[in-house]
Amino acid sequence: MDNHEKQRVIKSIVPKAILKALTDGSKYAITKKNYELDVIPIYNYPFKIGREARVEHTKGDIIVKERHNFDSSTPSNDAYLVDNGKLLQISRRHCAIAAENNGYRLEDRGSACGCMVNDIKIGDEFGNNCRLKDGDIITLGSHNSNYKFQFITLES
């Protein structure tokens, strides 16, 4: 394998960015664990996030039902998170992260409880989206939400 091919393989395996879970609630919400690191890998933009609606409550445990894609439709989200709260914080179509010319943007997709970046609610000062930088803290839901993630870019 030559160096050019090796670099191509590395780019296909290494995500462009990650969302690092910062709270127990956000760690529990991740349905597909990435090597026990409590991260959500972002391989492509826009990256859509929403609530996992296919859950079953069995003897006090929450079980995520397997997703089957029997038709050719694309899923609504790239990451599905389990919202274990009695008052839901995460909407089925919550937010998206997009790449821009000089950075990134977080866009609320019409969620019921909204999003915050570094404890500033999107909508209060930004409209339905705001600029997103490496290291920013994203909260899905209201001020008392336990779903907090750090946005970390891996691209050079």
Most confidently predicted of 56-60, 75-79, 110-114:
110-114
Q: What is the pLDDT of residue 83?
A: 85
3-state DSSP of 124-142: CCCCCEEEECCCCEEEECC
* 104, 98 contact by CB (below 8 A): yes
Reported confidence tier of residue 33, pLDDT bands at 50, 70, 90: low
pLDDT value for 106? 96
pLDDT for 73 beyond 80: no
Q: Does domain 16-153 have CATH number 3.90.1150.10?
A: no
**Whole-number average pLDDT of the chain:** 84
- pTM metric for this prediction: 0.83
